[in-house]
Amino acid sequence: MTHEEMRDLYELYALGLLDREEEQEIEEHLQRSCPECVAALRQALETNALFGMMPEAATPPKRLRKRVLASVGAQPPEFGWAAVWASVAACLALVLVIGGIKMSGDLQNSRRELRASNQQAEQARRELQAGNAQLSRLQEALRFLNEPQTVQATFGGGQTVPPTGRVFVNPTRGVLLIAAHLPPAPSGRIYEMWIIPKKGAPAPAGLFQSDAQGNVVHILSGPVNRADTAAIAVTEEPAAGSSAPTTKPFIVAPLPAHS
Amino acid sequence: MMFLLPILAALLKEDPDLARRLKNRDPRAMAELYDRYGRIAFALIMRIVRNEAAAEDLVQETFIRVWNRVHAFDHERGALGPWVLAVARNRAIDYLRSVEGRLEKSALELDKLEQPALFMNLENSVLNIDRVRQLRGAFEKLTPNQRLVLELAYYEGLSQTEMADRLKQPLGTVKTWVRTALKLLRDELGEAAVA
């Protein structure tokens, strides 16, 4: 490629959109510190940054600031997730009744949970109707639970040390993890969910932090190969997350056999 | 159409010491970084993923990445703003590709393009209201097809081959649209900078 031809590609290069041959040729050229092309790349990075500021304004929820700061240990976690957790528990109970999803836990406990949850369900519906932004994740969780293809697995039921909870896997929507009694990860650390395939290495499935009450609602959105998935697991990782588990999973939820 | 102009003014006042304080693990610096770039990162990510819950996760991932990689950032010569925006965009595009099953471009490739060293010798002053206005003005002068291919590149992370497939156009045609559009933007931004 000539300089002129390369000049036309630096924006796409910096966006990671070139094919491998073009990318390789540009990188080899840049390594020679050609001043003209270094300047062209700098201009391309500036143009790309300006494009990042073109979208329409969108205001993040206030809780996101706390969540971001807590995740790097810059501020104690003070999430307002108590209401979300209560609502999830309530709506989960309703879905279980209406949809007839088979619970693998103790039926007696489930009935008590249902009775307790019914009183909270009306409140949850009101909050949803009011469009409370804090419940956006709950709404996604509910859509998840209502899908007939969703399968569930439990964890922590027989162990003496919490956490406990359930995992829901939907081939088109992704993975939903609901857990309780999970203390927030220490400063500089974070929890990471993993999809454990029947063969091969675990695939990262998102970072999350529990709230001050030890509750978690974590969703990995996107298609999941249900047939090839053996289990969902969670480990504690450095705050930036890891591409492969670096600690032993403290949550492992084996999925039921795929029919 | 409402753009981000009202909040861009804050970017002009970036504390040049902010990156150094981040490298020193000053928690207040992280709060300041979020206050400066959190809304812009959220808006950019929302434009790409169009899902608020996912956008929140991706904003969190963006700032965790910046926090954990800032040690490699040259606070004397680097520009935090363009770097944060690049990380935010790449996280969102990576998410979009995984949701859409477009896995031929790996996360590792995007990771390479958000290394702090790449953002040396840039200036935060490029991110100012006038420059965004100039870009918007230049963008409006493009033909619909030229605007479309740039949006597909920046906000959907499509390569030119993927654009050709999506638009059912010859690859050569798409490449011409992209090349011409970027050249026009470069010329307009360059002329404005000189003026």
Residue B97: the pLDDT is 86
Task: List C-alpha distances in Å: B119 to A26, A74, B40, B135.
Answer: 17, 25, 18, 20
Q: How far apart are CA B78 and CA B75, in angstroms?
A: 5
Residue A105 phi/psi, 5-degree rounding, is: -85, -170
Beta-carbon contacts of B73 under 8 Å, excluding residues fewer than 6 positions away, are B19, B22, B23, B80, B83, B116, B119
Q: Average the pLDDT over B85-107 and give the result.
A: 81
Q: How far is A250 from chain B (nearest CA, A)?
A: 22
| Contact criterion met (CB < 8 Å) for B64 and A137 | no
Residue B3: the pLDDT is 42
Residue B107: name the closest of B160, B41, B174, B61 by CA: B61
Model's pTM, two decimal places? 0.58
Give pLDDT tens digits for A156-204.
Answer: 766 656 788 888 888 887 888 888 888 888 877 888 899 999 998 998 8
* Residue A74 clears pLDDT 50, i.e. is over it: yes
| Contact criterion met (CB < 8 Å) for A18 and B159 | yes
Q: In sequence order, what are the beta bridge partners of A154?
A: A166
Q: Average the pLDDT over A139-148 and give the result.
A: 69
Residue B7: the pLDDT is 44
A79 pLDDT tier (thresholds 50, 70, 90)? very low
| Contact criterion met (CB < 8 Å) for B43 and A56 | yes
Residue A180: the pLDDT is 84
User: Which residues from A are below 8 Å from B61, CB to CB?
Assistant: 207, 241
Domains of chain B and any CATH numbers:
6-125 (1.10.1740.10), 129-194 (1.10.10.10)
* Residue A40 clears pLDDT 80, i.e. is over it: yes
Q: Which of residues 168-187 of B touch A (CB under 8 A)?
A: 178-179, 182-183, 185-186
User: Which residues from B are below 8 Å from A43, CB to CB?
Assistant: 186, 190
Q: Average the pLDDT over A45-61 and give the result.
A: 91
Highest mean pLDDT among A81-95, A186-200, B10-24: A186-200
Q: How far is B95 from chain A (nearest CA, A)?
A: 9
Q: How far apart are CA A51 and CA B150, in angstroms?
A: 10
A193 contacts A233 by C-beta, under 8 angstroms? yes
A6 pLDDT tier (thresholds 50, 70, 90)? confident
Burial readout A223-233 (b: 16 or more C-beta within 10 A, e: otherwise): ebeeeebbbbb
Strands A174-180, A164-170: pairing is antiparallel
Minimum Cα–Cα distance from A135: chain B residue: B53
Minimum Cα–Cα distance from A23: chain B residue: B109
Burial readout B84-123 (b: 16 or more C-beta within 10 A, e: otherwise): bbbbbbbbbbbbbbbeeeeeebebebbeebbebebbeebe
Residue A216 phi/psi, 5-degree rounding, is: -140, 135
Q: How far is B76 from chain A (nearest CA, A)?
A: 16
Residue B142: the pLDDT is 96
User: For chain A, what is the mean pLDDT?
Assistant: 76
Residue B92: the pLDDT is 94
Residue B176: the pLDDT is 96
Question: Which residue type is seen at A96?
Answer: L
Residue A256: name the closest of A161, A150, A176, A113 by CA: A150
Residue B8: the pLDDT is 44
Minimum Cα–Cα distance from A42: chain B residue: B122
Could you tell me the two tokens for B100?
């859409």
Domain ranges of chain A: 3-51, 62-254
Strands, E assignment, chain A: 151-155, 164-170, 174-180, 189-197, 203-208, 216-221, 229-238, 251-254
A186 C-beta neighbours (distance < 10 Å), count: 10
Percent of chain A with pLDDT over 70: 70
Q: Average the pLDDT over A31-54 and give the result.
A: 87
Q: What is the dihedral of CA A18, A20, B165, B49, to 10 degrees?
A: -60
Higher pLDDT, B111 or A107: B111
Q: Average the pLDDT over B11-26 and give the result.
A: 74
User: Which residues from B are below 8 Å from A19, CB to CB?
Assistant: 159, 161
Residue A195: the pLDDT is 92
| Contact criterion met (CB < 8 Å) for A57 and B3 | yes
**Which of B44, B59, B153 is closest, CB to CB, to A12?**
B153
| Contact criterion met (CB < 8 Å) for A47 and B2 | no
Task: List C-alpha distances in Å: A171 to A14, A104, A109, B68.
Answer: 33, 20, 29, 33
Percent of chain B with pLDDT over 70: 82
Coil, helix or strand at residue A155: strand
Residue A214: the pLDDT is 81
Residue A89: the pLDDT is 63
Higher pLDDT, A112 or B174: B174
Q: Which of residues 81-110 of B touch A (CB under 8 A)?
A: 81-82, 85-86, 88-90, 93, 95, 98-99, 101, 105, 109-110
Question: Which residue type is seen at A7?
Answer: R
Residue B108: the pLDDT is 57
Q: Does B20 touch chain A (CB under 8 A)?
A: no
Token look-up 């369900």 returns A121
Q: How far is B167 from chain A (nearest CA, A)?
A: 17
Q: Does B192 touch chain A (CB under 8 A)?
A: no
Give pLDDT tens digits for A213-239.
Answer: 788 888 887 788 888 899 999 999 887
Task: List C-alpha distances in Å: A168 to A85, A103, A175, B190.
Answer: 16, 12, 6, 53
A135 pLDDT tier (thresholds 50, 70, 90)? low
B47, B113, B163: best to mutate for the A interface, most A CBs within 10 A = B113
Handedness of CA A147, A148, A151, A154 (dihedral sign): positive
User: Which residues from B are below 8 Å from A15, CB to CB?
Assistant: 89, 113, 153-154, 157
| Contact criterion met (CB < 8 Å) for A16 and B99 | no
Residue A78: the pLDDT is 47
Token look-up 């591409």 returns A243
Q: Decide: residue A95, CB within 10 A, 0-12 exposed, 13-18 middle, 19+ buried.
A: middle
Residue B152: the pLDDT is 96
Q: Average the pLDDT over A28-37 and give the result.
A: 82
Q: Average the pLDDT over A108-133 and give the result.
A: 53
A81 pLDDT tier (thresholds 50, 70, 90)? low
Could you tell me the two tokens for A82?
């108590």
Q: Average the pLDDT over A132-149 and give the result.
A: 62
B156 C-beta neighbours (distance < 10 Å), count: 18
